[in-house]
Chains A and B, each alone.
Chain A
Amino acid sequence: MPDTNLIIEEKDAHIKAEDFSVFYGNNEAVKKVNMRIPKGKVTAIIGPSGCGKSTYLRAINRMNDLIPICRADGAMMFDKQDIYASNIDVVSLRQRVGMVFQKPNPFPKSIFDNVAYGPRLLGIKKKAELSEIVEHSLKKSAIWDEVKDRLKENALCMSGGQQQRLCIARALAVQPEILLMDEPTSALDPKATTKIEDLIGELCGDYTIIIVTHNMQQAARVSDFTAFMYEGILIEFGITKNLFEKPREKQTEDYITGRFG
């Protein structure tokens, strides 16, 4: 039986992958993964480059749909629905599963309009309501104090770290249940990285967070659970402390101790 079913019970699982595969043309990048992601916790997915972790992450909110040669097999269960079924409303899915990308990508609009973009999509039009939501999201992202006086300024006039926190605020403003983070700090300096890691610590509990990272120390610092993937296969899944101190699989141990990267 797959790892995760031993550790995460059915009732605690927010997302369940069942024999889930992703193909790029004929190349199977994610091979029949079975994984249960626990609700309200931070799960990290680690592994060497090219192991399929980003592909897997992007499959959760169906961002891979944007790539024509990409197709999925198996089931990804969320809210008792297989999100790859034929009658799924992808827009609705993405409003409940948010994403923060590797390279900060704020829109070339004002800080306010960036954060308000999501709520506006949800139908909120009144200025007062939007202002409240923007303030709340920016506060949650621990960036409110830095930008509260320049909400009308262009979002691109900020440092990389600030832009990434803005993107997190923007994603949070949609009030998603799950937040996917694809190597969110790999393009940032150490100081900004620390700020974001602290943020993740504060957010968990309210959100289910899945973070892909190539930085093992980061995974060890921020996550409750860790999944190790290698060449598209889920090798090991466990409570972070256990996986890093006493890995069950040899491949996991080799990766963690740096025998291959």
Chain B
Amino acid sequence: MQLKTRKFINKLFSGIGITSVVIMTAFLLILLTPITYKGLGAIFFSGTIEYRMLNYKEFGHGDKENIEKEFAKAKTARAPVYLQFDSFKKEVKKLEPKKRREIKNQLKEIKEALKELLGPFPDTPIPVLLRNQYGQTRWKNAQEKLHHVLYSEEWDYSDPTKPGIQVFVPRKKYFAGTSFESFFPYLEKNIKKMLLPKFTCYWQFLTDKSKDAHFFGGIMPEILGTIYLALGAMIFAVPLGILAAIYLSEYANPGKIISFLRICMGALAGVPSIVFGLFGLAFFINTIHVSNSKSVLAGSMTLALLILPTVIRSAEEAIKAVPNTYREASLGLGAGKWHSVWTIVLPSALPGILTGTIISLGRAAGETAPIIFTAAVSVGLPLKIWETLSQPTPALSWNIYNLCTEHEAVDEIRHVQYGMVFVLIAIVLLFNLTAIIARARIMKKLRG
């Protein structure tokens, strides 16, 4: 082959290689960017007066006087709208039946949409569900609801060959010529005064409980549950893992038994996570009854099994990496084998062991399948430490699934879903970052 062609192939090859790395980076960015952006939206957003009222009444955040002042202002801006409903009632009665029916229909839809937008009409009984007691708390959602008030959703079947097209008809059309016609431009023009949107930093998203199935409030029980589960998994897996690694690297004689053990560890690492979940249910809960039903304890033990092979592997590598000269020096001074391992080898292997442990911690925090049947519930209060032995807990990983699929109002709480995913990823990445920094620090100390 000519040199020119060979060089060209070389460049092409490099190009392909670099492209694949660029593709991977692109994947990561495409994955993380919307989640970060919208996830932060759970904390930083434009909040309305309804939000501030709710925040104060249900969670005790905010300044009573200011909020009440603001609400009074909003009330004044809204008053004309409600008045218009009352005065229009009389007019409706005078209309001919067909038009009356059409208008009554529209009014019904408008009233429902307005309730969602601004909250219950004044001087009506307080609804049962918390979510109906307040209007829109987020300005973005409010604008969508406003659209519902101003436009009605209809289907255009005029073309018989194609399926119906969805069109938005301005409701104003139906009220042309009536006194109600001015309702719509007034609403559109003054909605800001009625809702008083302001930039909000709801950092308590991380510390508040949720109310009314995550419609309002924060995700603290889930965060706490995730932390309990991850720490619990560590408590079980790390001692077992380190001791096993010590045996494998310091005491084991190479032979059939040891190869068999290693094969088993490899097999354990390959078991699918859902099978761990099934096993956790069948064994920890239904057979040895570590708890009567789902509990953090059972979930932690199941997660521990999941991360055990990784902990053993990284601990073993770290121990093997300790130079033999340290062991020789220690034994030469008259120390026994166990004493040498405990005082010299283990402390030197600490950076590697720590890294592997913390990364496993991150993995345990993010896993869902093992805890579905063993520890996770969709709604619950944050647990106190002693309750973890027998009580199940909400957890970020499970609740993300739950909120995206089985929740009754999936689209309303998008921001909570994004917030949860963002927090979970942040926690896991934080664990990984801590591991890397801790390792660098300890290695510096050991190197001198």
Contacts and interface: CB of A to CB of B under 8 A. Distances in A.
A40 interface: no
A66 B325 CA distance: 12
Chain B interface size, under 10 / 10 to 19 / 20 to 34 / 35 or more:
20 to 34
Contacts, number: 70
B335 interface: yes
Interface stretch (B14-22, B129-137, B239-247, B440-448): B440-448
A167 B335 CA distance: 15
B68 interface: no
Contacts of B347: 108-109
B348 interface: yes
Given A103-B325, A105-B326, A108-B348, A98 B447 contact: no
Contacts of A171: 332-333
B12 interface: no
Per DSSP, are chain A's interface residues mostly helix, strand or loop, or mixed?
mixed
Interface string B287-330: 00000000000000000000000000000000000010111111
Given A101-B325, A105-B328, A108-B348, A174 B446 contact: no
B201 interface: no
B334 A107 contact: no
B101 interface: no
Interface string A200-227: 0000000000000000000000000000
A58 to B, nearest CB: 9
Given A121-B339, A153-B448, A157-B448, A98 B333 contact: yes
Contact of A121 (B328, B335, B445): B335
Contact of A101 (B329, B344, B445): B329
Contact of B330 (A92, A95, A98, A107): A107
Nearest to A156: B448
Interface in B310-368: 323, 325-336, 339, 343-344, 347-348
A98 B323 CA distance: 20
Nearest to A105: B325
Given A91-B334, A95-B334, A101 B448 contact: no
Interface string A104-136: 011111000000011001000000000000000
A174 B333 contact: yes
A251 interface: no
Given A91-B335, A108-B348, A63 B447 contact: no
B33 to A, nearest CB: 43
- Of B326, B328, B333, which is in contact with the most chain A CB atoms at under 10 Å from its CB? B333
Interface in A164-206: 167, 170-171, 174
B334 A94 contact: yes
A93 to B, nearest CB: 8
Contacts of A95: 333-334
B334 A92 contact: yes
A63 B332 CA distance: 7
A155 B448 contact: yes
Contact of A61 (B330, B332, B339, B445): B332
A174 B331 contact: no
B338 to A, nearest CB: 11
A93 B323 CA distance: 24
Contacts of B332: 61, 63, 94, 98-99, 101, 171
Contacts of A92: 334
Nearest to B322: A108
A101 B328 contact: yes
Given A156-B448, A157-B448, A94 B333 contact: yes
A66 B446 CA distance: 25
Contacts of B339: 121
B54 to A, nearest CB: 57
Interface in A29-55: none
A63 B328 contact: yes
B336 to A, nearest CB: 6
A5 interface: no
A69 to B, nearest CB: 12
A66 B344 contact: no
A249 B82 CA distance: 122
A156 B444 CA distance: 11
Given A108-B446, A153-B448, A156-B447, A118 B334 contact: yes
A154 B448 contact: yes
A118 B335 CA distance: 8
B336 A91 contact: yes
Nearest to A93: B334
- CB-CB nearest 7 A-B residue pairs: A154-B448, A95-B334, A156-B448, A105-B325, A157-B448, A94-B334, A99-B332
Interface of B: 323, 325-336, 339, 343-344, 347-348, 445-448
12 contacts: A63-B332, A94-B332, A98-B332, A99-B332, A107-B344, A108-B347, A108-B448, A118-B333, A118-B334, A154-B447, A157-B448, A174-B333
